[in-house]
Structure 1
Amino acid sequence: MNTTNKPIIGITMGDPASIGPEIAVKALLNPAVYELCNPILVGDADVFRDITERLALNALINPVQAVDEAKFELGTVDVYDLANVDLAQLTFGEISAMAGEAAFASVKTVIELALADKIDATVTGPINKKSINEAGHHFAGHTEIYAHYTNTKKYGMLLVEDQMKVIHVSTHVSLRQACDLVKKDRILEVIELLHNGLISLGETNLKIGVAGLNPHAGDSGLFGTEDDEEILPAVLEAKRRGFDVEGPVPADTLFSKAATGYYGGVVAMYHDQGHIPFKLTGFKWNAEKKQMDSVKGVNITMGLPIIRTSVDHGTAFEIAGKGVASPDAMVLAIESAVRLSKERKSERAKERQLV
């Protein structure tokens, strides 16, 4: 297979007790993935070998110690092997410091590979935050890990699925704290991150809708003052800077318009305000089978010096090891990473021409 000019995408294992290893291998059994890129998994090769054999997946696990040792051939799953999981101590669906340490190490390693230009983009599988913290790594999630190890101060979580694109002012904090984080400067920062993200994704609709925090966007101060005192001034300043933006728009109408493509993207004030409508769009529950038929949605961290996309679902401990996990979101995350890496390469080529 000709691998010339294809971006190399590093994909983390996720929590080894979760569906992470399963969806990673399943995604790499999709021929379309190899048409787009050269994928390499980062984690414990024995974990990937175990899930492959357990679920009778038609793949050969190829452990490597360097990216340039990878074969990048369909049917052969290259694994940058960290050899840090004792399978005898691993139980599907169980929180443990060992699993947390292994998951954390795969994330830290893929960041290092990207910073060293060994890979073109990173994709992350689901981690369990409690396991990570039990291993002694006190981060709220992937986004914070990436920000720390890339020394990034201004960043945001952008969710992408079809026409719905949502970025957040705050994410992994309590609801009480989230209200206190609704500040003009942060909202302005996130509007700019979303604008740049839409351009990076090749979108032409750059109209941004900004959600209100309170019911009816505060209703002129009757239900809270944050909308008038923090959100509106941010929107007005963003307009002054040339952004196509409107708000604060009551959240109960903003997302119905966003789902139709009226907005190129929207700014949510806190985690669940953005995640609930987003997952209603991309997650399809089968009531009869009592499982998800499809789990779609990509999480992109904006503002980083490297590319990071991720599945926008959790570890799904309850179905780990059962062979029913869908790789849809992982394939979409890989596709988004490829698109972003090509856009970044194009931008750098233009910059060199201008020098």
Structure 2
Amino acid sequence: MSHRCLIGVPMGDPAGIGPEIVVKSIADPQTYQYGCVVVTGDQKILENACHFSNIKLTFNIIENLQQIIDKPGVLNLIQCGKINYDTFKNGMIEGQCGQAAFDYIKTITDLALAKKLDAIATTPINKESLKAGKINYIGHTEILADLTGTKDPLTMFQVKDLRVFFLTRHLSLVNAIQSLTPERVCDYAQRCHEALIKLGIENPRMTVAGINPHCGEHGLFGHEDDDILLPGIEMARKKGINITGPKPADSVFHFALGGGYDAVLSPYHDQGHIATKMVDFHRTISITNGMPILRTSVDHGTANDIAGKGIANPISLIEAIRLAALYAPNFKS
């Protein structure tokens, strides 16, 4: 096993498409080329996903990682979480699904923290099921931050060679802009720089996307770019960070995709999300930096409306596993 990247994958919400994309990913020959995958989840639900997806896999139920069978077509599973199969139904919001999804994440995270896994690649969980199960987190990032003792994880999206960081996450546009300060811009520039180096990118070249049209045209369309972003960028440059900007958001992502920059720092949520997902929705992967473990993730939801129908696309999970394997050696160094 020493020459093979070992990647942990929690099954996700049992009632969503997580089980389906897990079995489809394990069955895909590409996944085996990237590394060896171990899953935390429920055997019966995964077997049912194989059935309605017309997938054939051999299940290897293990209690420790020494029992892994590293062969194509084998799903190495650590059974955990509790599901009442009498009430369970695909596509339904249930507290037991939220609790089980949390158990899968905790089990895989504990293994990663113990350095028994090289990385984890997570599948979708459902916020409503978490709430119904009295799991008091709003999502994966918050769960992982708590489990790993990380104060403020740093989210990066990657699609092809386009990498995007976010100055703010789930805030209204007004609140996101109001929360920005030059000091925050400088702090994030430093953190993004360090994250890129940890991922193996030497002397990262970064830029910042503007907030207003044409970066405000020196006050004609707003002052935030000149009053907040530019001073923060200049502060970061004085600290030795290779960063430019702000650059007009209607073009900067295009130039970054073409190799002009190693990463773009986006001031608010939808700006960077739209830019990456328009390149390739299914291959846009979230990478959580700043934690003691490497985590990649699909960037889509549980899709309860199609759960159990065998039509879910596994490309995002396959890509998340690929990037986990790609970055794991650098992350450890």
Q: TM-score range by the shorter chain?
A: over 0.9
Gaps of at least 5 residues in structure 2 are none
2:209 aligned with 1:211: yes
| Greater relative contact order (Cα < 8 A, sep 6+) | 2
Gaps of at least 5 residues in structure 1 are 284-294, 348-355
CA separation in 2, counterparts of 1:102 and 1:173? 28
2:300 maps to a residue whose letter is: H
Equivalent residue for 2:250? 252
Q: TM-score, normalised by structure 2?
A: 0.93
Equivalent residue for 1:290? none
**Which secondary structure does the structure 2 equivalent of 1:18 belong to?**
coil
**Which secondary structure does the structure 1 equivalent of 2:27 belong to?**
coil
Cα distance, 1:136 vs structure 2: 1.7
CA contact (8 A) 1:47 1:85 kept: no
2:257 aligned with 1:270: no
CA separation in 1, counterparts of 2:236 and 2:180? 16
Selected match of 1:134 from 121, 132, 135: 132
Equivalent residue for 2:316? 329
CA contact (8 A) 1:93 1:318 kept: yes
Equivalent residue for 2:106? 108
Equivalent residue for 1:78? 76
CA contact (8 A) 2:182 2:229 kept: yes
Equivalent residue for 2:284? 297
Equivalent residue for 2:120? 122
2:113 maps to a residue whose letter is: L
2:237 maps to a residue whose letter is: K
**Which secondary structure does the structure 2 equivalent of 1:80 belong to?**
strand
CA contact (8 A) 1:211 1:266 kept: yes
Equivalent residue for 1:69? 67
CA separation in 2, counterparts of 1:276 and 1:147? 25
1:319 maps to a residue whose letter is: I
Cα distance, 1:62 vs structure 2: 2.2
CA contact (8 A) 1:155 1:193 kept: no
The alignment yields a C-alpha RMSD, in angstroms, of 1.9
2:224 aligned with 1:226: yes
Equivalent residue for 1:343? 330
CA separation in 2, counterparts of 1:138 and 1:83? 17
Equivalent residue for 2:303? 316
Which range moves more in the overlay, 162-171 or 57-66? 57-66
CA separation in 2, counterparts of 1:178 and 1:132? 26
**Which secondary structure does the structure 2 equivalent of 1:319 belong to?**
coil
Q: Deviations over 1:30-75 (max 9, x none)?
A: 2332233221011122211111122221102222222222223222
Equivalent residue for 2:192? 194
Cα distance, 1:267 vs structure 2: 0.6
CA separation in 2, counterparts of 1:297 and 1:339? 15
Q: Deviations over 1:199-234 (max 9, x none)?
A: 344446822120122333233334443322321111
Q: Deviations over 1:140-189 (max 9, x none)?
A: 32112111221112421100111211111111233333223222233223
Give identity over the alignment, percent. Answer: 37
